[in-house]
Amino acid sequence: MTVAHPIAQAPGAALRLVREVTLAEGPLFSSRAAMAAARELGMSADSAYKALSLAAQAGIAIRLKGGLYRAAPPFGPAHLHEFLVATTLVRPSVISGPSALSHWSLIDQTPLRIVTASSPKTVLPPMSRGASTALLQQVGHHGWVIEGVTYIYRKIPQSEMFGISDVWLDTETQVPMFDRERAVLDTFLHPRARGSGYLGELLLEEHLQDLDLDRLQRYAHITNNPRVIARVADAGQRAAPVASNADL
């Protein structure tokens, strides 16, 4: 039995709407952006909502969370990088924690299908129904499970939103992420959230040559947290002889 391609099942209005909004916004778009695109096409509000609903039913626009959608082929890629989804789901947000440390090759690959990010916003509601209760109890964060990926958000003060780099994941995808030193600093700022109170010290011992210690110490001073400043300074001093011995 031959199954029709989703585009063949979608009405013309749905096709026009998804094409228009992806040209304007890219493969991730909000329902508000879809309504704006519909107005450009001369659609009424009722017609636009119906077209968006039909696009979702046909599988050419996949509803991720609330009013956020992603375009499916042929209007978007078959797969969107999870980091892009994470930083679009909650704005502003930045890839952080194990996801950032793993991206910078400072820790081994993080558990599959889990993305960690930070935001000054409170992310509600706490996880979707697909979330693991054990995971929620372990991390104590908020987020969603979308298409099998768990997106975990830690709320941080606005004052901690620094040390952010725009990182290219491929030729078309760029996301905000804590740079190497800021990602390491996070392990000193929130040691319990990273699963080890001494992870920062271990990272400095193993990767001191890959890190800018002066920048890390400047970042520590930005926090105005005497405990963090002292721990980073002490960890740097302890790691330096280890790195020197490794070169011998």
Beta-bridge mates of residue 145: 150
pLDDT of residue 3 exceeding 50, the answer is no
- Between residues 145 and 121, the one the model is more confident about: 121
Section 12-36 average pLDDT: 95
pLDDT of residue 141 exceeding 60, the answer is no
Residue 143 sits at φ, ψ, to 5 deg, of: 170, -155
Percentage of the chain modeled with pLDDT above 90? 66
Section 83-90 average pLDDT: 93
4 burial (CB, 10 Å; 0-12 / 13-18 / 19+) is: exposed
- Model pLDDT, residue 210: 95
- For the chain, give the number of residues: 248
Q: Torsion angle of alpha carbons 235, 239, 241, 247, nearest 10°?
A: -170
Section 23-32 average pLDDT: 94
- Model pLDDT, residue 148: 84
Asked if 95 and 178 count as a contact pair (C-beta separation under 8 A), the reply is: yes
Section 16-33 average pLDDT: 95
- Between residues 2 and 192, the one the model is more confident about: 192
Question: How would residue 6 be classed by pLDDT, with cut points 50, 70 and 90?
Answer: low
Alpha carbon 59 to its chain's center: 24
Question: How would residue 69 be classed by pLDDT, with cut points 50, 70 and 90?
Answer: very high
**Least confident interval from 129-143, 152-166, 207-221:** 129-143
Structure tokens at 106: 């400072």
pLDDT of residue 137 exceeding 60, the answer is no
- Model pLDDT, residue 11: 85
Task: Quote the radius of gyration of the chain (alpha carbons, Å).
Answer: 22
Section 49-54 average pLDDT: 95
The structure's pTM equals: 0.84
- Between residues 57 and 134, the one the model is more confident about: 57
Section 226-237 average pLDDT: 96
For residue 141, the number of C-alpha atoms closer than 13 Å in the C-beta half-sphere is 27
- Model pLDDT, residue 183: 97
- Model pLDDT, residue 65: 83
Question: How would residue 61 be classed by pLDDT, with cut points 50, 70 and 90?
Answer: very high
pLDDT averaged over every residue in the chain: 86
